[in-house]
Amino acid sequence: MKTFYTTAPVAYDGFGTKTVASGWQWVSKTRPDHRQPVRKVEVQDDHVEWQSMRYGNELYPTWTEAAFQEKKRYGYIKEKTDGSN
């Protein structure tokens, strides 16, 4: 299994991809009022390429653990603190 973070909705998951955590938001630096929920997903090794292309086809960002941590460090990913998206 490979682990990624994405803003893609569950409807874009396939081939056994599953959400294992959520609770973050992607925050646009040019439009701070624009936020998207971020979730951590596990993708079966045989389907990593297909799954990442599926998310990317609809322009949903997908990050590795290292990229996710970098986005957090620079303030693009924030912990969800209320019930908003």
**Helix, strand, or coil (residue 66):** helix
Cα 33–Cα 38–Cα 39 angle in degrees, nearest 5:
165
> Residue 70 CB: number of other CB atoms within 10 A?
13
Token duo for residue 27 = 């925050």
For residue 10 the two structure tokens come to 């569950």
Q: What is the pLDDT of residue 25?
A: 96
Weakly modelled stretches of the chain, pLDDT under 50 = none
pLDDT at 84: 55
